[in-house]
Homo-oligomer: A and B are copies of this chain.
Amino acid sequence: MENTAVETRPHRVVIVGGGFGGLYAAKALGKTKRVEITLIDKRNFHLFQPLLYQVATGKLSPGDISSPLRAILSRYRRVKVLMDTAIDIDPRQQQVKLNHTTLPYDTLIVATGVSHHYFGNDQWAEAAPGLKTLEDALEMRKRIFGAFEAAEKESDPERRRAWLTFVVVGGGPTGVELAGALAELAFHTLKDEFHDIDTTETRILLLEGLDRVLPPYPADLSAKAADSLAELGVTVRTQSLVTDIADDVVTVRQGDQTEQVRAKTILWAAGVKASAMGKVLAARAGAQLDRSGRVMVNPDLSLPEQPNIFVVGDLAHFAHQDNGADSSEKKPLPGVAPVAMQQGAYIARLVQRRLQGKTVPPFHYDDVGSLAVIGHHAAVVTMGQLKVWGFPAWLIWIFVHIYYLIEFDNKLLVMIQWLWNYFTRKGGARLITWEESRLDEPVAVEQELQPVPERTAGELKTPIIADS
């Protein structure tokens, strides 16, 4: 690799971000002659984000939806993986500044995605965690299962009710999937596992600001989704805005009415903002950003004035004619895996053509449709004009996900195990880990110690804490 790099100076492609966009670009370019690719990610693994909510609800383990980038790309000798963090870009010198080094590039592909966003209420983050990283998912998992354990121990009915109340903020795909999975847990998986609480008394509230769940979907599918959620036992509240989150209390405004909901577990599935790399591109390369910080790109996904810097995936704002309701207005493509995959592959083809002195037509998104799963055995699917819901949609959903999951990494057996869990309604990985669990609040042992039997009083020096 290094040697050939010396003999004939190859075209250096630097890809920032190992998500769907970056990974597809790397794979598509990986066997191109006279090209040398470096894929940078601060993690050593690719995350199959569409199933992240399954980790948050204990159905899958982190390892089930993650694959080491080095393992995925080891077949591609021209691709070098670097675990590092990009902190700056210099378009003049065509360099990317990383934490540990600086890389020159001929073509730069930025695919750093988005993170969740609290609309200027970042103080809500602690009380209402979002779901973008594995750590987020494990934090949610800890809170969800920790809440049931705490409820089992809670004698005060008010507080017990608060432990058994779950609020999901945001009725998009992630919110719908989380709420559905929570209902599965409370009303089926955990039903017979507790003695002092009845988990079927669990209250699951799904809050959506607009007038229906799954706003990007056709109205009738949104209705189907709402029905399925209600059947599962989820309380869906549309046109409901969260105005405050504090002390386990969510303040919800619906029209001109305001309600306060006591809930110990609040999950954030509303709103995303572009990763900070967008700001870097704006500051260094004059990129324009939209309201949520995504980078406005040319029809070929490059930046204005920067023909060799491309943005793909969730970070890119690619305006396109929407086939939906009013095809007059131009909308950005949705932040879903298929868009990122197609954009990554497109850039790869573009680079290959350019090296041959040729050009490519503008990027066109080949709409493969949208999928959202609603708890157990139900989903909604749109494919062009086709609309499917209920169990058939769920089958399509499961097939698509198995297909992609296996494409990255031979996880066939993981998926079979998972299907097994699904049909048996069994939880796969319901672990509450990490000492700092909310359930391990330190207690003043001295006060609580029983009077010491005289016989041994002398032996007791320090308060005794034992593991169990």
Interfacial residues, chain A to chain B (CB-CB below 8 A): 1-2, 16-17, 40-45, 60-64, 66, 68, 70-71, 74, 80-88, 90-93, 95, 97-101, 112-113, 115, 134-135, 138, 145, 149, 152-153, 190, 192-196, 275-277, 279-280, 282-284, 286, 410, 413-414, 416-417, 420, 426-435, 439-441, 443, 445, 448-450, 452-453, 455-456, 459-460, 464-468
A62 to B450 Cα, complex, angstroms? 37
Report whether B448 and A87 are in contact in the complex, using a CB–CB cutoff of 8 Å: yes
Quick one: copies of this chain in the complex? Answer: 2
A95 to B448 Cα, complex, angstroms? 13
Report whether A17 and B416 are in contact in the complex, using a CB–CB cutoff of 8 Å: no
Report whether A284 and B195 are in contact in the complex, using a CB–CB cutoff of 8 Å: no
Given the known inter-chain contacts A453-B91, A459-B283, please indicate yes or no for A63 contacting B429, CB distance below 8 A: yes
Report whether B100 and A153 are in contact in the complex, using a CB–CB cutoff of 8 Å: yes
Q: Which residues of B contact A41 (CB under 8 A)?
A: 468
Given the known inter-chain contacts A71-B193, A71-B426, A74-B193, please indicate yes or no for A276 contacting B62, CB distance below 8 A: no
A452 to B196 Cα, complex, angstroms? 63
| Nearest CB in chain B to that of A281: its residue | B466
Given the known inter-chain contacts A134-B433, A193-B71, please indicate yes or no for A466 contacting B1, CB distance below 8 A: no
Q: Which residues of B contact A149 (CB under 8 A)?
A: 44, 83
Report whether A445 and B87 are in contact in the complex, using a CB–CB cutoff of 8 Å: yes
Which 9 pairs, one residue from A and one from B, show the smallest C-beta to C-beta distance? A63-B429, A61-B63, A277-B466, A70-B193, A413-B417, A61-B61, A90-B450, A86-B468, A83-B149
| Nearest CB in chain B to that of A95: its residue | B450
Subset of 18 A-B contacts with CB under 8 Å: A16-B466, A45-B431, A45-B432, A61-B64, A62-B62, A62-B431, A62-B433, A68-B427, A70-B190, A71-B193, A74-B192, A81-B193, A84-B439, A88-B464, A91-B453, A135-B435, A283-B452, A413-B413
Q: Which residues of B contact A195 (CB under 8 A)?
A: 1-2, 80
Q: Which residues of B contact A283 (CB under 8 A)?
A: 452, 456, 459-460, 464
Given the known inter-chain contacts A417-B413, A445-B87, A466-B277, please indicate yes or no for A432 contacting B193, CB distance below 8 A: no
Q: Which residues of B contact A196 (CB under 8 A)?
A: 2
Given the known inter-chain contacts A195-B80, A429-B66, please indicate yes or no for A101 contacting B153, CB distance below 8 A: yes
Q: Which residues of B contact A460 (CB under 8 A)?
A: 283
**Shortest beta-carbon distance, A238 to chain B, in Å?**
33
Report whether B430 and A467 are in contact in the complex, using a CB–CB cutoff of 8 Å: no
Report whether A63 and B450 are in contact in the complex, using a CB–CB cutoff of 8 Å: no
